Amino acid sequence: MNYAKAMKSCAIALGAAAMATVAMAEDGPIKVGVILPMSGGSAYVGEGIFTGVELAVKQVNEAGGVLGRPLEILLRDEQLRPDVSTAAMRELITLEGVQHFIGPATSATSLANSQIAREEKVVNISPSAKTEALTAGENLHDYIFQLAPTTDVDGVRTVEVLKGIGTESICFTGFDYAYTHDWFAAVRANMGDIREAGAFLVPMNATDFSATITQLLSADCDTVIGTQFGGSFIAFIKQATPFGLFDSKTVLWGSNTGDHAVAAALGAELPAGLWASAADVWYYEGLESHAAYQEALADFQGRKETDMWPITGYNAVKFLAAAIDTAGTTDPTEVAAALDGLTIQTPLGEITIDPETNRANSPEFYGRFEPQDGSNAARMTDLRLVR
């Protein structure tokens, strides 16, 4: 039996005096467990999401908190290891009494933590994991909510963009792991008469892509889509550019490589004409709410050109706060119920969590990188916010 529930039934049984004690206990801040990669090669993702979490919590608390109580963040490093991320979650549940979680960031850790969430009946909002498996089949349960568009959604959206570009034949490349396989499967399922001219995968942790680049160059396709991310994406770009890959093929990349952080890191080395996607870009000007968010974020981070990850953490907190507000209690079962079908206003417009699938219809940006006058970092043009 759940600890909080036990407390509650106790309270009811013991009457008013006990109720007062519980009320006292519930006056404190609402603890939010945040489990993200904070060390190693993916730390920038964790730090980005965490920035968004901090900003949203600051805003919520400044506006008087939720149910009159402030939110309190408890951060743990998942180290991209499921054993570590689950241990952190259990620690927060059993030691700190946390009942609401945001994170972890990756598919493997999210899948693992979701099992704990199911068992412990605590709310678990996954801000960034894209794997279908997280909320599909047996893995779907009442307490897990997936905000990022899944690979299936990405597949549909990618094909839409490809058709817009005029792609006729396509090559696939990327790390040989779950996300790549899932996304490619979704693209293949939707690509209709676009012809596949080969898939050239590299082992996980590979640092050299020259063999695949050579294969891609000689393959009979007009478009290449790929999945390397973070540092590996940067390495791929730097190795592929002198080979002329970006001159001879149209290239579209997944894995949120439209992130401004990537463009800033690569600077002039980011090839013009590369298609990419991102959960957010600071220079998007289509929505008032987005402008307001960016202003707040720029203020918070002390720089105008912000990255894409904060919005995922930001929206996760806003969903959680709205759900607790709607439920009128922090009881995780009721909060989870409130999240079903919940619609909130986000910087990128209305987002709803589907009550059946527990997935949010978060939009993403797709666009084509072009160098900017007066700035070192390229920006996506032809920017479209795909819902």
Partner 1 sequence: MFANPMILFIQVMNSFSLAMNLFIIAAGLTLIFGVLRIVNFAHGAFYMVGAYLALSILGVTGNSNLGFVLGVLGAGAAMGAMAFVVERVLLSQLYDKEHMLQLLFTFALVLVIKDVVKMIWGSGQYSISAPPFLRGAVNLGISPYPKYALFLCIAGPIIAVAIWFFMERTRWGRILRAAREDRVMLNALGTDVKLVYSGVFVAGAALAAMGGALAAPRSAVDPGMDALVIIDAFIIVIIGGLGSLLGSFIGALILGFLTVMGSIYLQEWAIVASYVMMVVILLVRPWGLFGKPDEERH
Partner 2 sequence: MTNRSQLAFLALLFLILLAVPFMGSRYLTELTVQVMIFSLLALSLNILVGHIGLVSFGHAAFFAIGGYATAFFLSRWQLPLGIAMPMAVLLASIFALMIGALCVRLKAIYFAMLTLAFSMLVWGIIIKWKPVTGGDDGFVGIALPQFLSSPQNFYWFTLAVVSISTALMWVLSKSTMGQIFVAIRENETRANFLGVNVRQMQLIGFVLAALFAAVAGSLMSMYLRGMYPQSAFWTQSGHIVISVLLGGVHSFVGPILGASLLYLLEVTIHQYTQYWPLVMGLILIIVVLVLPEGLIGLFRKLYTSVRRE
Distance between CA atoms of residues 358 and 354, nearest Å:
5
Give the interface segment with partner 1, choosing from 15-23, 32-40, 105-113, 322-330 (CB under 8 A).
Answer: 32-40
- Measured from the CB of residue 320, what is the shortest distance to partner 2 in angstroms? 22
Q: Is 99 in the site for partner 2 (CB under 8 A)?
A: no
Select the binding partner of residue 76 from partner 1, partner 2, none (C-beta < 5 to 8 A, by kind).
Answer: partner 2
Q: Does 91 engage in binding with partner 2 (CB under 8 A)? A: yes
Rounded Cα–Cα distance for residues 379 and 368 (Å): 8
> Whole-angstrom Cα distance, residue 255 to residue 174?
10
Rule CB under 8 A: choose which of 28, 40, 286, 355 binds partner 1. Answer: 40
What is the smallest separation between the CB atom of 98 and partner 2, expressed in angstroms? 11
Q: Give the phi and the psi of residue 247 in degrees, each rounded to 5.
A: -85, -30
Choices 13-21, 107-115, 162-170, 336-344 (CB under 8 A): range interacting with partner 2: 107-115
Dihedral, CA atoms, 280, 282, 284, 285, nearest 10 degrees? 130
Q: Which is nearer to partner 1, 233 or 319 (CB)?
A: 233
Phi, psi of 344 (to 5 degrees): -130, 160
Q: Find the shortest distance in angstroms from Cβ 135 to partner 1.
A: 27
Which is nearer to partner 2, 78 or 305 (by Cβ)? 78
199 binds partner 2 (CB under 8 A): no
Q: Round to whole Å and give the CA distance between 183 and 32.
A: 31
Separation of CA 161 from chain center: 20
Rg (CA), the chain: 22
- Structure-block tokens of residue 315: 């929206």
Is 373 among the residues that bind partner 2 (CB under 8 A)? no
> Which residue number, 126 or 167, has a Cβ lying nearer to partner 2?
126
Selected binder of partner 1 within 83, 208, 285, 295 (CB under 8 A): 208
Q: Residue 107 interacts with partner 2 (CB under 8 A)?
A: yes
- Matching residue, tokens 């957010």: 280
User: Site for partner 2 (CB under 8 A): which residue of 6, 20, 28, 39?
Assistant: 39
- Separation of alpha carbons 343 and 23, rounded Å: 29
DSSP per-residue letters across 138-175? GG--TTEEE-SPPHHHHHHHHHHHHHHHT--EEEEEEE
CA 263 – CA 268 distance, rounded (Å): 8
Residue 262 parent element (H or E): helix 260-266
Q: Which residue of 124, 212, 255, 315 would you call a contact of partner 1, by CB under 8 A?
A: 212
| Residues of this chain that bind partner 2 (CB under 8 A) | 3, 38-39, 75-77, 80-83, 86-88, 90-91, 94-95, 107-108, 111-112, 115-116, 119, 131, 133, 138-139, 177-178, 204
| Residues of this chain that bind partner 1 (CB under 8 A) | 38-44, 46-47, 176, 200-208, 210-212, 214-215, 217-218, 230-235, 238-239, 242-244, 261-262, 265-269
